Structure 1
Amino acid sequence: MKKSLLASVIDQWSVVPPVETADLSGKTVLVVGANVGIGFEASKHFARMQPARLIIACRNEAKGKVALAEIERETGYNGCELWIVDLANFASVTTFSDKFKREGGDLHILVMNAAIVQLVYQPTADGWESVLQVNHLATSLLSLLLIPQLVAAGEKSSTPSRIVIVSSDLHYWITPAKEVEASTTPLETLSNEEWCIPEHMQSRYNESKLLNVLFVRALTDRLQSITPLSAVAVNPGYCYSQLRRDWYKKPTFSFARIAVALNERLLAWTAEQGSRQLVFAAVGGRDNEDNMKAGYVNLGRLIEVADFVLSDEGRKFQNTVWNETIDILNGVSDKIAPIVQDYLVVPDSSIN
């Protein structure tokens, strides 16, 4: 599918469907990146569905406590818990997953919403370019580490568990640079300081959203059809968001700041409207679960992903990125290899 800028503008001017609802009693929901914006609003929607546990995972404890109190105040739900995780630190992610294994029990819904935007090269303590680590590598790491808990929940439930990865329509307008696509280690290429010149960093967030879509599709290829777990990518739409807070730090009359403010005034949804897409991806479409697997949610329905993703070149790149991602994460956690071995399969060669 090719999606034009005009089509996206029309989407932004469309009526946003009402929030999907479901009975979450007895279930555990985990939202990563939940103290502000669409993650916070989605958490309030989940709270109103009365899950047994709602865990909001945030990087900042003080801000997380404020969000926790606000969720309880607005919804009357008192089963919300604050856990701390920093996706810019692999050790924090593995510590979080270890804690979940000990204390979290089964997991029915995982929403991976945390993301950052950086326009300049900034490595993490782990040595990776920060957007690439937070938006793709650490997001993939936590999703994979929690698969045992997700599958266990799905086996005991009448509905499969869900992994929801927040992507974006920006994936329609980005294809890998030739040097990246041709590389056997495209993530290393993308993370290399010499590659991360300002011109390339302008598209880094878009690239990370493409990687989110590729991860969801690659994971689905490797999940057995009988596994009670569905992975879904979702476009929350263009919303008022703290993702763009760095633009507002620019001088008062900077063109970037004016452009962002104008775009938001003309096009942006509220964070609550955007959060409805996350909720649909988490609880919607239960009447046809097979369609939701590897699906891409937009405006409360499934739509086709970008032509590049569906192309032979896209499939090849998807598998290259998957293999490199697993190699990298194997070096981060000794639990990745057993999870891949026990829960995933080698995809049919006919679709490689």
Structure 2
Amino acid sequence: MKKSVLSFVIDQWSVVPPVETANLSGQTVLVVGANVGIGLEASKHFARMRPARLIIACRNEAKGKVALAEIEQETGYNGCELWIVDLANFASVAAFADKFEKEGGDLHILVMNAGIVQPDYQLTIDGWESVLQVNHLATSLLSLLLIPQLIAAGKKSSTPSRIVIMSSELHYWITPAKEVQASSKPLEMLSSQEWCIPKHMQSQYGESKLLNVLFVRALTDRLQSVTPLSAVAVNPGYCYSQLRRVWYETTTFSVSKIALAIQERLLAWTAEQGSRQLIFAAVGGRDNEENMKGGYVSLGRIVEVADFVLSDEGHKMQDIVWKETIDILSGVSDKIGQIVRDYLVVPDSPIN
């Protein structure tokens, strides 16, 4: 599928479908990146569905406590818990997963909403370019580490568990450079200082959102059809969000800030409207679960992904990125290899 600027504008001017609802009694929901914006609004919607536990995972404890109070005040739900995790630190992610293994119990819905935009090249404490680590590597790490709890919940329930990973329609306009596609270690290349010149940093966020789609599809390829777990990528649409605050903070030319403000005024949805897409990806489409597996949600329905993702080149890169991701994350946590062996299968692919 190709997406034009006109189709993007039409989508943004479309009526946003109402929020999906479900009975979440007895279930545990985890929202990562929940203290502001879309994640916070999604958490409020989950709270209104009264799950047994709603865990909001945030990097900043003070902001998380404010979000916790806001959720309880607006929904009357008092089963929300605040846990701390920093996706820019692999050790924090691994510690979070260890804590969940001990204290979290079964997990029915995992929403990986956290993400960053960073116009300048910055390394995390782990030595990876920050956007690549937060949006792809750490997101994939926590998703994989929580697979045992997700599958356990799905086996005990009549409803498969869900992993929801925030992507973006920006992936439609990203075609990785030929040298990235040809590399046996594209993530290493995308993270290198040599690659991350200002021109390439402009598309780094979009690249990370493409990687999210590839990860969801690669994971789905490796889950047996009988496994009670579905992975879904979601496009929240173009929304008012603190994601773009870095541009307001760092842009020196007032005309650029004015242009961004006008663009948001003309096109942006509210964070609550964007959150409805996350909710649909988490609880919607239960009448056709097979259609949801590996799917890409936009405007409250499954839509086709970008042509590159569906191409032979896209399939090849998907498998290469999966292999590199697993190799990297296996060096972070010795649990990754065991989870891959115990819960996933090897698809019919020459890469594996």
1:70-81 alignment runs, 5 A limit: 70-81=70-81
C-alpha displacement of 1:256: 2.4
TM-score using structure 2 length: 0.99
Give yes or no for the alignment of 1:160 onto 2:160. yes
Q: Is the 8 A contact 2:234 2:281 kept in 1?
A: yes
Give how far 1:5 is off. 1.1
The secondary structure found in structure 1 opposite 2:96 is helix
CA separation of 1:108/1:198 partners in 2, compared to 1, >3 Å: closer, same or farther?
Answer: same
Q: Is contact 1:26–1:51 with CA below 8 Å preserved after alignment?
A: yes
* Structure 2: runs of 5+ lacking an equivalent: none
Structure 1 residue aligned with 2:225: 225
Q: For 1:275-320, what per-residue CA distance to the aligned partner results, in whole angstroms no more than 9, with x for missing partners?
A: 0000000000000000000000000001000000000000000000
- Aligned runs of 1:39-118 on 2, under 5 Å? 39-118=39-118
Q: Distance in 2 between matches of 1:97 and 1:268?
A: 34
Quote the Cα distance in structure 2 between the aligned partners of 1:279 and 1:219.
21
Distance 1:351 1:24, change over 3 A: farther
Question: Which SS does the other structure have where 1:246 is aligned?
Answer: helix
In structure 1, the partner of 2:317 is 317
TM-score (norm 1): 0.99
Question: Conserved in 1, the CA contact under 8 Å of 2:320 and 2:351?
Answer: no
Contact kept, 8 Å, 1:250 with 1:257, in 2: the verdict is no
> How far apart, CA to CA, are the structure 2 residues paired with 1:144 and 1:54?
20
1:38 maps to 38
Stretches of structure 1 lacking an aligned partner (at least 5 in a row): none
User: Does the 8 Å CA contact 1:224/1:344 hold for their aligned counterparts?
Assistant: yes
Q: How does 1:142-153 map to 2 (within 5 A)?
A: 142-153=142-153
Mapping for residues 194-213 of structure 1, pairs under 5 Å = 194-213=194-213
Write out the 4+ residue segments of structure 1 that deviate beyond 3 Å after TM superposition: 250-253, 349-352
For residue 294 of structure 1, what is the aligned residue in structure 2?
294
Is the CA contact 1:27–1:51 (under 8 Å) kept in the aligned structure 2? yes
Q: In structure 2, what is the Cα distance between the partners aligned to 1:188 and 1:62? A: 34
Percent identity reads 84
The CA deviation at 1:250 is 3.8
Structure 2 distance, partners of 1:26, 1:76, is: 18
**Displacement of 1:247:** 1.4
Which residue number corresponds to residue 190 of structure 2? 190
Alignment map for 1:240-255 (pairs within 5 Å): 240-250=240-250, 253-255=253-255
Look up the equivalent residue of 1:260 and give its one-letter code: L
Partner SS for 2:332: coil
Q: Distance in 2 between matches of 1:50 and 1:243?
A: 28
Q: What per-residue deviation string (whole Å, max 9, x for no partner) do you get for residues 18-71 of structure 1?
A: 000000000000000000000000000000000000000000000000000000
Partner residue in 2 for 1:344: 344
- Partner Cα distance (2:329, 2:289) in 1: 29
> What is the CA–CA distance in structure 2 between the aligned matches of 1:312 and 1:111, rounded to whole Å?
29
Separation in structure 1 between the aligned mates of residue 250 and residue 32 of structure 2, nearest angstrom: 28
Other structure's SS at 2:30 match: strand
* Corresponding residue SS for 1:110: strand
Cα root mean square deviation, aligned: 1.1
